[in-house]
Amino acid sequence: MEEITRIGVFTSGGDSPGMNAAIRAAVRTAIYNGKKVTGIYHGYQGMIDNTMFDMDSPSVSSIIQQGGTILKTARCMAFRTPEGRAQAYENVKAAGIDALVAIGGDGTFTGAEIFSREYDIPVMCIPGTIDNDLNGTDLTIGYDTANNTVIDAIDKIRDTAASHNRLFFVEVMGRDSGCIALNAGIAGGAEAILLPEKDTAIEELIEMLEQGADSNKSSMIVIVAEGDKNGGATNVAKRVKEKFDYFDTKVSILGHLQRGGAPSSADRVLATRMGYSAVMELLKGNSRATIGVRGSEIVTTPLEEALSKKELKLNEDLVEIAKIMAI
């Protein structure tokens, strides 16, 4: 690997709280080590459109507390084509970039892995997604903040649910991962949690709700992961209401508010550690890998392994705890 002189930094895919902290760490670590930095607007689309600019330390001042991403983000269909990647490489090469730090989720990682192999450009990826659905790390940037946002919403919904003897179905994000639903459901005291990884029949859910009614609960909350096989909170609520009308039933879909807001302290620290480590790994000669955290230690995982879904599974202890806490 040739000596790295300029590192390109970009964010791609869905935004997540803490991305700015990762950008800040990557930029300042590169500068500290005598390297130049280029910011790339709108991810892979920015490579194709050539929307790049020099970054220095002041470029990332006062952004650690901001949600979203100052580098913006976009989906880019053109980058999925050989022609699009060829155009991207020509622009990257012309800008003098000889290594990349990519911040995003599995789509970002997939693009980075293909691009690096085709053009032999070093790349390190940082997992920035609220879904917490990538191998190679216990936590992804934005996951903690999203959980806190959901818990805050559940607490507020609980207040009005108890005031009116209501049953609320609260839909949370996560795509095909139930991590947010499970953790926020436990922290928010939900009576039931529907997860993509677990098949929960409507009849089984109704049985759980009936047990709650028999216990004279004044209200109940059911957390529904958006990827649940029953079809989302609205459909689940409709099917339950047909057979269980003990409570007045309401639906609340939290949606994209889960992606917004200032990152939590935990996400700021995690993102800073990952941004620093991504640059340091590149300077050591590492490439085509993702930064992750296992326990308290920062680790790297080859991109091919990180993109594999084989190891992804919910914590079974948490699933059992959620069941017990609902009685």
Binding site for substrate: residue ranges? Answer: 129-131, 166, 173-175, 226, 250, 256-259
What is the Cα–Cα distance from 233 to 326, expressed in whole angstroms? 19
What is the Cα–Cα distance from 240 to 257, expressed in whole angstroms? 26
Maximum CA extent, the chain = 70
- CA-closest candidate to residue 279, choices 147, 140, 123, 55: 123
- CA-closest candidate to residue 123, choices 251, 275, 286: 286
CB 35, CB 5: distance < 8 Å: yes
- CA-closest candidate to residue 48, choices 101, 9, 13, 86: 86
Which residue ranges make up the annotated binding site for Mg(2+)? 106
Backbone angles phi, psi at 324, to 5 degrees: -70, -40
* Other beta carbons less than 10 A from residue 4's beta carbon: 18
Which residue ranges make up the annotated binding site for ADP? 24-28, 158, 189-191, 217-219
Which residue ranges make up the annotated binding site for ATP? 14, 75-76, 105-108
Residue 311 carries which DSSP code? T
The one catalytic residue among 54, 56, 120, 131: 131
Is residue 131 annotated as part of the catalytic site, yes or no? yes
Residues with active-site annotation: 131
